[in-house]
Amino acid sequence: MSATHPPGQRGDSDGREGDRHARAVWSALAEPGDAVAGALVQACGASASLAWTADAVATGRVDWSRLEETAGELDGALRRRVETAVRRWAPRWRSLDPERDRAAASRCGARLVVPGDPAWPRGLDDLGALAPFALWVRGGPPTAARSVALVGARASTTYGERVTVDLAVELARRGWVVVSGGAYGIDAAAHRGALLGGGMTHVVLAGGVDRAYPVGNASLLEEVVRTGGSLVSEVPPGSTPSRGRFLQRNRLIAAVSHATVVVEAAWRSGAASTAHHAARLLRPVGAVPGPVTSAASAGCHRLLRDGVAVCVTDADEVAELAGTVGADLAPPPRPEVTRATDGLEPPARRVHDALSRRTARDVEQVAARAGATLAEARAMLGLLELEGLARRVAAGWVVTDGHE
C-alpha cells in the first residue's frame, strides 16, 4: 500500500464502511495486543487514527496537534510510546494490501466482523484498548448466549482427553457453546465433544482463518464450520500463527467465553495464560484436577493452589461456574449408597451403635455403652424398633439390618 495514499482516506471515511475498512487495515498493521494502536483507535476512531498514522508514516514525523485534538494531551512518556509505535508500524505499512486480504477472505468464505455488528461478541469489549480491531470469521456468528471455553495442553493424556470430551458433550447437550483454540490435545477434544453432543463450537485461531492450523485438525475445523460454528481470527487470512499470536489469541478465547475451564495444562502453559486472561476479565475460571503424578495436570493444580481457578469435576459444576448465579447451580451432593441408619440423629445412632447383632443387651447396658440416659436409651430403642433397625428379644435388644 502506498504511504502517499493512506488506506484510511476514502470517500466514506467517516461512515460505517470507512470504519470497517480502517479496522481491516489495522488488523493487518498492528500486532495482536498492540495497546498503542488500540488506544489510538479507541480515542480517535479507526478511520481517523489510520489517516493520522498514514500521514506520520509518509512524512516521518508525528503531528501532535492533530492527534491531541481528539486524543487529549499526551505526556512525554505517552508521546514516546506513540513515536515508537509509528516506527513499529512503518516497516509493515509498505506490505499492507487490503484488497489482497479481502480477496483471500472471499476465497475461503470468511467475512469481517467489527464492533457494532450483530455478530460481534460483546465480551470482547471488556478488553478495552486490547480488544481486537476486527474479527475475520468463517462459519456462523462467533457469538453465544451461553459459552464456555475448554482449553488445555497439546501434550494431553488419555485421561484429559476423555474428561474433555465428556464435559463438552454434556455442555453441548445443555445448550452451551464450547470455545477453544483448535490445537491438538485438549482443544481438539473440546471441539470434537461439542460436535458429538450436537452442539456448536467456536475455534479462535492465532493465524488466518484460511489456514487450518494445525493441519492434522483440518477436517475437524471444516466440520466446525459445517455445523454452524465458527473459525475466528483477529489477523487477516494468509497471516501466519506465531508464538506471540498464540499467546494473544488466548485473551480472545477468555473474552468471548462466559467462563474458562482448563482441563490439563503443564506447569507453564498457554492454557494457564488463558485462565489468567479470564481472571483479569473477572470471568469465572475453573480447573479440572488430575493425578498429582501427571505432569499434564500440574498447571491445573497450580491454578487451584494460587486461587485463580475453582475445582470443577463435571459438567454440572462447569455450568454452575459459567452460568447465572442461582439458575445453573450444580445439583446437590450426588446420592451415594445410602445406609438404613443414614437419617438417624446422633443420639439414635449412638444407641444403634451400642447394640449387637448377636448379643442381646438390656436398656441399662445399652445406655451405659451409648453414653445415654436411661430415658434416652429407651426412647431411641423405641424409635429404632419403629424404623426396623432394632428388635426386642427375650434377653433385651439386638440390632437388625433395616426393614425385614
Which residue type is seen at 121? P
Q: Cβ of residue 146: shortest distance to a copy of itself, in angstroms?
A: 21
Which helix (H) or strand (E) covers residue 378, if one does?
Answer: helix 374-386
What is the x/- site pattern for a copy of itself, positions 8-37, by CB under 8 A? ----------------------xx--x---
Give the nearer residue to a copy of itself in terms of CB position, either 243 or 357: 243
60 binds a copy of itself (CB under 8 A): no
285 binds a copy of itself (CB under 8 A): no
Report the residue from 81, 349, 378, 391 that binds a copy of itself according to the rule CB under 8 A. Answer: 349
| Residue ranges in 35-155 assigned as alpha helix (H) | 35-44, 46-59, 64-71, 76-93, 98-108
Q: Point out which residues pair with 137 in neighbouring strands.
A: 111, 232
Report the residue from 114, 127, 163, 200 that binds a copy of itself according to the rule CB under 8 A. Answer: 163
Residue list 170-189, contact with a copy of itself (CB under 8 A)? none
Q: Cβ of residue 15: shortest distance to a copy of itself, in angstroms?
A: 29
Distances (CA, A) of 33 to 45, 265, 296, 344: 17, 23, 28, 60
Task: Tell me, by CB under 8 A, how many residues bind a copy of itself.
Answer: 60
Which helix (H) or strand (E) covers residue 373, if one does?
Answer: none
| The Cα angle at residue 59 between residues 68 and 101, in degrees rounded to 5 | 90
Rounded Cα–Cα distance for residues 70 and 263 (Å): 45
Point out which span in 43-51, 92-100, 194-202, 204-212 binds a copy of itself (CB under 8 A): 92-100
Residue list 365-384, contact with a copy of itself (CB under 8 A)? 367-377
Report the residue from 222, 223, 314, 316 that binds a copy of itself according to the rule CB under 8 A. Answer: 314
Point out which span in 111-119, 129-137, 138-146, 305-313 binds a copy of itself (CB under 8 A): 305-313
Rounded Cα–Cα distance for residues 128 and 38 (Å): 8
313 binds a copy of itself (CB under 8 A): yes
Residue 277 CA, distance from chain mean position: 9
Give the nearer residue to a copy of itself in terms of CB position, either 198 or 331: 331
3-state helix, strand, coil in the chain (%, to 5): 50, 10, 40
Cα Rg, the chain, nearest whole Å: 31
Q: How many residues does the chain have?
A: 404
Give the nearer residue to a copy of itself in terms of CB position, either 78 or 119: 78
Which residue type is seen at 135? L
266 binds a copy of itself (CB under 8 A): yes
Contact 27, 133 (CB under 8 A): yes
305 binds a copy of itself (CB under 8 A): yes
343 binds a copy of itself (CB under 8 A): no
Contact 236, 264 (CB under 8 A): no
Which residue type is seen at 364? E
User: Contact residues for a copy of itself (CB under 8 A)?
Assistant: 30-31, 34, 84, 87-92, 94-95, 159, 162-163, 242-244, 266-268, 288-293, 297-298, 300-302, 304-305, 310-314, 317, 333-334, 336, 346, 349-350, 353-354, 364, 367-377
